[in-house]
Structure 1
């Protein structure tokens, strides 16, 4: 979601701020801006277009400064307008950028109105700005410390004041913030990527930390006010991960990067050892009697798929919960459950909150499946398994999803082995299948021209149904999500067996029905469901394994997949659904990489 970049330096820092915002564009935003400190107070430029337009403004007015803050905003409180764009000012002397949501902003707003503060935006952020200003007595750091004590909710903030032209104060609770250390210049950022190449080292702030950034150094205190040191680590070089190359969109690039991403995620081992998940995994895995998976969105569908694997391979009872719902209902905690959180960024607010809730219930055996080694989620869990999708810029997840599936399959087989349900021959076969996956995906990607032809039909549709059974029902859910996310076509997915219990009423000639047809034990059942659709005049688009004997006919369109891939079949079967959504969106002219109203990393509730 929102992005933050801030800097204190001896040089003009505006180009660094603009480049930082450009690198954070993939997170999703609908306005952007930056401010620098001058002797006459902060100056700012803001845009409700894109960072490129903001850069044009900067060039036009020759905007310069040695201390500044910048922001990309994803609207929560107030529409995407210039008045609501960050940085937000207070009394012409203080500027702030903010990620997160302040839950008690209404009460604070009324109190500040009584103190004669005038509000010109609809944002909760303006409350923080005026609150800090009201507490300011010459010490900006002290004013921020006092202000954040009064905030309820999540925040990462960066604050500058005209009285302190070489100082920037940051604070975080419930939203990530990093400090960057350079040569006579220091930084804050939402993500280390934003300051890579300028900062040599970074520290991840912990919950409740407050920092003061100056030219010569950084002061850090924890929520109690005690001075702390957060372990600095070298910033990874900013490379070509965000270069588009020959592809039309990042989503297309990332779809085609999946063979490589999966290859790098598959463990380089001939055996599934618990140590793949951490030093303590062997003891943890022997002591658990169930698995609880917590996730949101696409990661939730990865969890639903993993439930089939965990119960069939490891013979262990598995529950999958939507993270945003789990913490708000009364559940029965089980201290012997392994709590698995799944997230691309490791900063998903709902999933982090669900994890903390589970831990507070005495469920201490935790495992993060994540793409970011330094994320809050990885730091909070007992065990971890890192996927190696590298950076994913398109908002609609593709390679992050398939690498999550690989990680969860490895977990299922490892637990199966620990529990005595996977023998050596089965283990060797699973390893063989995993290592063949990249080649299988390359064969699926070769089907792109046929999928483009199908997308020409979907471009004119406003609704679609997706059907799958068993292991492939969650893949149908994911396919429907992809289509609605980026093409804005209303799409729903159902277990094919549920078709006659309601959804069949929706089937007409205008409603395409996408069907996932692997050659598994449920194939004959699925063929019967397809006939139910055909009898109502529906048009069926089938992704069928090569040996299913489903042929194209009047009203039935078939794309033949490679050979059936057993338990791992969901992974190759999701790729054509990604391509179908992508090319349909291209045909409809939508913003594929930055679909409306959506953000890459959802760091607020």
Structure 2
């Protein structure tokens, strides 16, 4: 969840670390800190955002540094609990992503040996343990304590009067950028892009020592070589480009993201063949990826007649799939801990495993036997938009190829009309939403996961309570919530379920609930029943699924802006959920 950055080279490290942490703000955080060597160890830690800090960390001297943005797990957000954490002599500094599950046991042992802890965090045990082993060789000291750490970690470590930076990884992402006489490390590739396009992704169990003139990687005590990857993204892609928020920029990037993903899936023959030969498919995912996966399940069963179920990553362990199933893990970041754990369990049970992700070199790619990369490009805003549309594009193209191009026309239709819904006037719908305490989203068939995703976007960034339902479920409880203060957002398009959906909408109006309806622009019956009608082009059901999703993203965005919310970094949330 958190962000870490490290630097060793010829520049001043603190500004590089600060810039890198700013590029990782999308991951979510409540405090930050930086440590540098000059050769003495210097620290600067703050509660809150980097941009709000009264004192910058850029005054710290030294060409070796580490930085961290913390998302609280153990201990409240505070300056004391912020990283980096140090040993009792303040000679060793550590930043850490992940969770040390046995920290309480380790802490008790350290306290028995006279260590006094300054923070409430699990991380603080690490510098104290390293200090007990350190005699001048920092890598040796770190390697000695790693086996007793249970849980997950990405670690960057400095020691005073030691011109090296040590890194280690287990279950939490870490990447090394290879610059010109300099090295940059990060939780993902974004901090690297300003300095280099060459990257090395650490694997589980790796520990590395980085010097100004080179680096060495070890695993289980033996030297190993990791491939150098050429990064595809550019630093410019990760900037706002004149938009007020990253989320709005990313909404407008969706036509390209959709088209690019359609194109790349056509070349994934091995991936497609593995699905074609499957007796049944289980998809594991979380959050937005789970909603996109539900769209896939409808497509697979309806068009390809392949039994497909969707299981939340966090729930998979409670009813794991038979080993005969094909299991697909879906994760935008490729670092979602619950999804990765589910995929590992499926693999251990003998299932064939595939992955769909947006991030090259991410952890999920080392678990699955085959990987399909979507082409959304970097997504900075916490609320997923173009990554959702790219996943839906991938699933639609998979369905199209498996069914001998049965939905080729529909895919072309979406590409044609998607730009047209990016600038609709949603002001009347926004007025109804901003005045509400609760919103209900409803749809039938593939519009049910669209309703859930629309509600998720709204609650994430506006903080309005919102729930998505299959329209037929309203009478089984949610009807009790209907009132003039509870707007309902319904999707109603001319298809097989249109008559029953219209009946649902009329029942809602009979309970005096304001109704926002998405439908065809020439639908006079819908105009009569809805308080606000948002009109879409006359597209197919599959086209309406994608266009409706984009409209609901915009509705959430404009509602959040009207309420003065922090759109790109909503409270309590992180972009990449790397702990279970």
| Pairing partner for 1:480 from 431, 455, 459 | 455
1:421 counterpart residue number: none
In structure 2, distance between residues paired with 1:173 and 1:281 = 31
Which segments of 5 or more consecutive residues in structure 1 lack a partner in the other structure? 418-426
Counterpart contact for 1:69–1:158, Cα < 8 Å = yes
Counterpart contact for 1:394–1:594, Cα < 8 Å = yes
1:345 counterpart residue number: 333
Size of the aligned set, in residue pairs, is 579
In structure 2, distance between residues paired with 1:558 and 1:581 = 16
Counterpart contact for 2:8–2:211, Cα < 8 Å = yes
The 3-state SS of whatever aligns with 2:166 is strand
Q: For each residue in 1:340-360, what CA deviation from the matched residue of structure 2 results, as whole angstroms up to 9, or x when unmatched?
A: 111111111111111111101
1:234 aligns with 2:235: no
1:317 aligns with 2:307: yes
In structure 2, distance between residues paired with 1:279 and 1:301 = 25
Question: Per-residue deviation at 1:431?
Answer: 2.1
Paired residues for 1:77-88 under 5 Å:
77-88=74-85
| Pairing partner for 2:358 from 371, 394, 417 | 371
| Pairing partner for 1:156 from 154, 157, 169 | 154
In structure 2, distance between residues paired with 1:509 and 1:17 = 51
Paired residues for 1:117-128 under 5 Å:
117-128=115-126
Question: Per-residue deviation at 1:433?
Answer: 2.2
In structure 1, distance between residues paired with 2:256 and 2:55 = 37
In structure 1, distance between residues paired with 2:222 and 2:332 = 33
In structure 1, distance between residues paired with 2:129 and 2:420 = 59
In structure 2, distance between residues paired with 1:443 and 1:183 = 45
In structure 2, distance between residues paired with 1:199 and 1:160 = 23
In structure 1, distance between residues paired with 2:105 and 2:465 = 39
In structure 2, distance between residues paired with 1:17 and 1:458 = 40
1:531 aligns with 2:506: yes
Question: Per-residue deviation at 1:548?
Answer: 4.0
Counterpart contact for 1:538–1:555, Cα < 8 Å = no
Counterpart contact for 1:263–1:435, Cα < 8 Å = no
The alignment's TM-score, normalised by the length of structure 1, stands at 0.92
Paired residues for 1:507-518 under 5 Å:
507-518=482-493
| Pairing partner for 1:543 from 518, 532, 535 | 518
In structure 2, distance between residues paired with 1:55 and 1:20 = 19
Question: Per-residue deviation at 1:280?
Answer: 6.5
Question: Per-residue deviation at 1:103?
Answer: 0.8
Counterpart contact for 2:233–2:377, Cα < 8 Å = no
Q: For each residue in 1:310-344, what CA deviation from the matched residue of structure 2 results, as whole angstroms up to 9, or x when unmatched?
A: 001110000100001102x1434132x22111111
1:398 aligns with 2:398: no
Q: Measured at CA, do residues 12 and 583 of structure 1 come closer, stay the same or move farther in structure 2, by a change above 3 Å?
A: same
1:331 aligns with 2:320: yes
Counterpart contact for 1:197–1:237, Cα < 8 Å = no
Q: For each residue in 1:535-569, what CA deviation from the matched residue of structure 2 results, as whole angstroms up to 9, or x when unmatched?
A: 11111110112354434347632122111323343
Which segments of 5 or more consecutive residues in structure 2 lack a partner in the other structure? none
CA RMSD of the aligned region, Å? 1.8
2:346 counterpart residue number: 358
Q: Measured at CA, do residues 39 and 247 of structure 1 come closer, stay the same or move farther in structure 2, by a change above 3 Å?
A: closer
Question: Per-residue deviation at 1:195?
Answer: 1.9
In structure 1, distance between residues paired with 2:480 and 2:464 = 19
Counterpart contact for 1:550–1:558, Cα < 8 Å = no
Paired residues for 1:101-120 under 5 Å:
101-120=99-118
In structure 1, distance between residues paired with 2:469 and 2:396 = 23
1:13 aligns with 2:13: yes
